Structure 1
Amino acid sequence: MNRIINFFPDLELEEASFIDGIIQDYSDEEVKNFAMLYRSRRKDPQMILILALVGIFGVAGIHRFIINQVGMGVLYFLTGGLCLIGTIVDLVNYKSLAFEYNQKMAFEVKAYMSMSQK
């Protein structure tokens, strides 16, 4: 886990462990390339929290658009965050929303790197 911490010192333990499992067979150069690609696609949980807060006081669903859940974003927008209940639930679960999105991005980066090596 030490290799990924060098590139992402601010990762929480759960995400760092997940990423470490993905890159365990990578060389140092591959870890560097993975980190660069992953950093460009990763969403910070704090950003999801802030955008969910915007949903309470302004436009609901922005955080769902950011994590590529367009259908839910439209639904939240049209229903006022499902009458604010959905937005409040997302405020509580913002870390898991970000982690799920980041997992998908990590798998995409890994697949991209595998395809580009062939």
Structure 2
Amino acid sequence: MSNRNILMTIRGISPEELMYLEHATKTFTEEQVKHFVFIYHSKRKNAQDILLFTLLGFLGFAGIQRFILNQVAMGIIYFLTVGFCFIGTIVDLINHKSMTDEYNQRMARESAMMVMGGF
């Protein structure tokens, strides 16, 4: 099985994400790619889930999306300010995809380092 086929087993992967992961794992053996997918899949977030959590901000639960994306300080600020009076929540609705992509890229780098380091 090729590395690309292994990476395509990740549920909901976008073409852009697939390209990024192919680049991140291009020097990996098939076994390392399998290990990478196992680690990365457990850390990866889905953009649609982040969108749903952001929408909860309009029901008084502002900032959940920031907590899920490991942005704890911003999550607390959003919670205390009701999503910056909903303006921050609206901005996050618009940017939910790029926020998720940025988080997933960070998790891909972290997962790759774990595979290369043998953790």
TM-score range, shorter chain: over 0.9
Aligned positions, number = 116
* Other-structure match for 2:40: 38
Q: Structure 1 residue 39: deviation in Å?
A: 0.3
* Other-structure match for 1:113: 115
Provide the TM-score with structure 1 as the length reference: 0.92
Mapped to 2, the partners of 1:88 and 1:56 lie a distance apart of 9
Provide the TM-score with structure 2 as the length reference: 0.92
Mapped to 1, the partners of 2:60 and 2:19 lie a distance apart of 36
- Root-mean-square deviation (CA, aligned residues, Å) is 1.4
Say whether residues 1:56 and 2:58 are aligned partners: yes
CA contact (8 A) 2:60 2:82 kept: no
- 2:63 maps to amino acid: G
* Other-structure match for 1:47: 49
Report Cα offsets for 1:58-82 as digits up to 9, x if no partner: 2100000000001100110011100
Identity of aligned residues (%): 43
Instruction: Structure 1: state its 5+ residue gaps.
Output: none
Moved over 4 A (4+): none
Structure number with higher helix proportion: 1
Say whether residues 1:16 and 2:23 are aligned partners: no
Instruction: Structure 2: state its 5+ residue gaps.
Output: none
